[in-house]
Amino acid sequence: MTTIQTSSAWRRQLPASVRAQAMILLRNPSLIVAAVALPVVLYLVLGTTGGHQPQHGVAYAAYTLCSMGAYAGGAIMLLNFGTTLAVERGQGIDRLFRASPMRPWTYLAAKGLVAVVVAVLSFAVLSLASATLTDADLSPARLAELTARLLFGSVAFLAMGMALGYLAGPTSASPVATLSYLLLSMASGMFMPLDQLPDAVRHVAHYLPTYHYAQLAWGTLHAADEPWTTAAGWLGGYALVFFALAARLYQRNQARRFS
């Protein structure tokens, strides 16, 4: 196939794959509802209850908005991307690729783009809830910066979800991802301030991807414990590791099934 033909095929395949992934998601709206509604419920419970002191000089509702935005971004990439990848792999989607001209990377790119759209929707609903129901009082410019930071940091969890999709089975992926991400989020201070966690947990937190993702989000309010460059560096390193792991797992999976 010539370069022109390959480029033309790519332009047709990717939009078609995105539409297909969007239709799959719309036909299973529970994933969208969970991705959008759960962070809002957690935010309203954790960010509006009384008795909380300002964190790093900012209102607790604003601080918690960043926390729940980070929680939502990572959860969407792991659950809406990673677990559905495992389920569809169990359904034999790789056999379809072998019998069609579509390449696996086109399918993965489409799933990733749809996950990004869901993440933006989740951030938008969180921001609306914050503006109408709390005293967070973040400007549109600050909310836009927070969204950009969350999308950037979510790439690490997209890579983690891809690795999970090729590592876990179709029935085990969801509980493994849900429990693992919940523990990582709790240990990183997303549900309660880090200074309220045990000393051992606070020490381990500094090596977790969720910790640096939350720090990147809190940095929007200048309420982080590390510079954004440090958080971005950690997340970039995690992304490289998990993308490399995903590629290795994909190759192993293909060798087992088709060699």
Measured between alpha carbons, how far is 207 from 155 in angstroms, rounded to an integer? Answer: 17
Q: Report the chain's mean pLDDT, rounded to a whole number.
A: 87
At 211-241, the pLDDT tens digits run 999 999 999 999 999 999 999 999 999 999 9
User: How confident is the model over 39-57, as a mean pLDDT?
Assistant: 79
Rounded to two decimals, the pTM is: 0.89
Domain boundaries, given as residue ranges, for the chain: 3-258
pLDDT at 76 over 70: yes
**CA 97 from chain center: how many Å?**
26
Please determine, for residue 200, whether its predicted confidence score (pLDDT) is greater than 80: yes
Which residues are within 8 A (CB) of 1 and not within 5 positions of it... i.e. 6 or more apart?
9
Identify the band that residue 4 occupies on the pLDDT scale cut at 50, 70 and 90. Answer: very low
Query: Which pLDDT score is estimated for 49?
Result: 64
Per-residue pLDDT at 2:
45
pLDDT for 3 equals: 44
How far is the C-alpha of 63 from the C-alpha of 35, rounded, in Å?
A: 20
Q: 141-162 b/e with 16+ CB inside 10 Å = b?
A: eebeebbebbebbbbbbbbbbb
> Average of pLDDT values for 106-116?
88
Q: Is 135 helix (H, G, I), strand (E, B) or coil?
A: coil
Integer Rg of the chain from CA = 19
* Residues belonging to the chain: 259
